[in-house]
Amino acid sequence: MTLDALINEYAAKNPASRKAYEKACNDIPGGISANVKYFAPFPLFMKEGHGAWLTDVDSHSYVDYVLSYGPLILGHGRTEILTSIEQYFAEHGTMLYGTPHELEDIFARKIKEHFPGIEMLRYTNSGTEATLLCIRTACAFTGKYKIAKFEGHYHGGFNEVLVSVNPDVTKAGDARHPIGLPESAGISDRMLNDTVVLPFNDLEACTEILTKQQDEIAAVIMEPVFGGTIPATPEFMQGIRDITKKLGILMIIDEVKTGFRVTLGGAQEYYHVAPDLTALGKVIGAGFPVGIVGGRRDILSMASPKGSDILDSSNISASAAEVLYHSGTYNGHPMILNAGLKTIEILEQEFDALLARTERLKSGIRELYAKHGIHVLTPGLGSMFNVVVTELDAIETYRDLQKSDFETRKKMDYALLLNGIYNKPCNRYNMSTAHTDDVIDFTLEAYEKAFRLL
């Protein structure tokens, strides 16, 4: 079947989702609350989730490999999480204090047990907020105001990092010296000039670029596993750590995707590299909105209020400009930290089995493609990976990924949607503890059916 024929069959099979989408378009721009949730001709609207499964408004059931783009590492509605939330309300009577509470420090100590680069931390409400605060912190600490990011890497939806996330390589310049391209309307030339784009896994080129601008660049921010798909080589990761130290540039590891997915201590534990700052999100909150900025004690101490509160009109004695401002009513939300702590406790017991089942699924997918004469790679680390249709033996950069056969991958994803497997076309696979062997069996059988359909 052609891709158009598959999309038409998908649309015909999901009339209730189409209707819900068309209604939503009257009230919500594009009918969706986040651009990433859209795919053509309309996204599925879900109504239930249990374990590894989702059910849509047309009452079709799917094995869920999106898992809300990563955070549901225990699957949907894990009993222990639901019970912990019920018990929390029964014992404490409220969902929010608006004051400090002891669980903030208990959770912080649990995070520090696992992440070697975190000596102190502050809570945020999302991974995007965490990366934003990392960048502000780096600028405050160094007194420099440019940042460097890598071509293809995503760090949230704010101006400084909406640069060269998915650039047109015909316009992005030389692979070793990428040109920064805007990824949204509303990005000024000043923002583009203040964001330096680096080539991933090319230490020599990165060293050259960073050395030339060392007096202007506050920090290098990176996804250690780009897009949850392409890992940094160990040599590259250690090399970036060494060169940033040498040049007085801070190293920020964005562990929003990789935290508790690569290892329980994230990619920094896997690579044995301690960054200056770490951004966390997604997995640590059991599906609730949460993020963390962690890092060196001397850097994070800048956020100590020192009697300064810019929202206290009676307090004009302290200089706000001397303090790294960070605040938020929902930071350190007690109910979320309670659920997050339970999530970590479960993962400490079940993580190895999750990794083993991830490897089984990856192997099964590769074997099925090979059986049909198609070469694929399943790059990634830990409990997330991608399926890349390519003639290459390995992919190490954004531009390597752009050489893959997206058409075949997209056809397979629509065929899988028709056979009970939910993944946004061309998205990575996220695994959970709920993806048991019988779920993997179902998935591989759906692949066989999808190949027959194609």
> Catalytic positions, please?
154, 254, 282
Q: Which pair of tokens denotes residue 41?
A: 């001709």
The DSSP output letter for 223 is -
The answer to whether 142 and 123 are in contact (CB under 8 A) is no
Angle between helices 79-92 and 334-371 (to 10 degrees): 170
Contact 43, 21 (CB under 8 A): yes
State the DSSP H helix or E strand holding residue 84, giving kind and residue range, or none if neither.
helix 79-92
**Where do we find the tokens 């750590």?**
241
Helical H segments across 280-397, by residue range: 297-300, 334-371
Q: Which amino acid is at 136?
A: R
Of 452, 443, 453, give the one whose Cα is nearest residue 61.
Answer: 443
Q: Whole-angstrom Cα distance, residue 21 to residue 37?
A: 12
Pairing, β 388-389 against β 376-377: antiparallel
Decide: 332 and 104 in contact? Cβ < 8 Å: yes
Closest residue by Cα to residue 71 from 454, 432, 448, 438: 432
Q: Is 212 exposed, middle or buried (0-12, 13-18, 19+ CB in 10 A)?
A: exposed
- The tokens describing 349, both together, are 């017991």
Evaluate the CA torsion angle 247, 248, 249, 253 in order and state its sign.
positive
Q: Give the count of beta carbons closer than 10 Å to the beta carbon of residue 244.
A: 22
Q: How do beta strands 177-178 and 195-198 pair?
A: unpaired
**AA identity, residue 433:** T
d(CA 382, CA 364): 16
